[in-house]
């Protein structure tokens, strides 16, 4: 987005139910919000369903956006909350269970820089894959605490669990991630 005025015009178009403006918002934030959804789900199809539902909520609640903060941050929060709601609606409540089934680049030489970027992308991809292998309970708490920067108190309130459960799930998520990543890095060589 070139500037805030353009974004404001697009938002105002969405408020008038202008389909082109809605499409522009969708295209502008699709990639970033898909990444958010993938953090909370096991597969791309489910992530796309959550993303669709999240964008519907964004358009429904657009009148509440006050232009005081980041629009992207506002959209991200709605999409993350939609993903959490999706987890809550799943048949079993994975948030309450403990299931043990369950990230700078530099360089001067352009070739070295490209290799470093590719290695960084590989590591990020491996990390995202490892996060997706966590149980829904661990993955959700990990994402909310580490990536969305919620406190344990906020997570507990949001998910209807105790702060102790949130802390425990985070600790177990970190241990499981370490195990998963250690296995992955051992298999690279």
pLDDT in tens, 74-102: 999 999 999 988 887 775 554 444 444 44
CATH code of the domain occupying 1-89 = 1.10.1740.10
CATH code of the domain occupying 95-189 = 1.10.10.10
Q: Is 0.75 topped by the overall pTM?
A: no
pLDDT in tens, 132-180: 888 888 988 998 898 888 899 999 988 889 999 999 999 999 998 888 8
- For 90-114, letters b (16+ CB in 10 Å) and e give eeeebbeeeeeebeeeeeeeeeeee
Q: List the chain domain ranges.
A: 1-89, 95-189
């Amino acid at each position: 987005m070139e500037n805030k005025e353009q974004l404001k015009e697009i938002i105002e178009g969405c408020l008038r139910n202008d389909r082109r403006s809605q499409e522009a918002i969708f295209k502008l934030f699709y990639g970033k919000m898909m990444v958010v959804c993938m953090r909370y789900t096991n597969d791309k199809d489910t992530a796309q369903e959550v993303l669709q539902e999240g964008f519907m909520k964004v358009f429904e609640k657009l009148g509440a956006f006050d232009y005081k903060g980041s629009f992207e941050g506002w959209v991200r929060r709605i999409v993350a909350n939609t993903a959490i709601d999706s987890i809550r609606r799943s048949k079993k409540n994975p948030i309450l269970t403990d299931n043990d089934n369950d990230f700078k680049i530099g360089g001067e030489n352009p070739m070295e820089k490209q290799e470093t970027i590719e290695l960084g992308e590989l590591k990020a991809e491996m990390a995202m894959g490892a996060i997706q292998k966590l149980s829904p309970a661990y993955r959700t708490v990990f994402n909310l605490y580490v990536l969305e920067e919620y406190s344990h108190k906020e997570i507990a309130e949001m998910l209807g669990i105790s702060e102790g459960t949130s802390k425990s799930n985070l600790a177990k998520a970190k241990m499981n991630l370490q195990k998963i990543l250690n296995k992955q890095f051992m298999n690279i060589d």
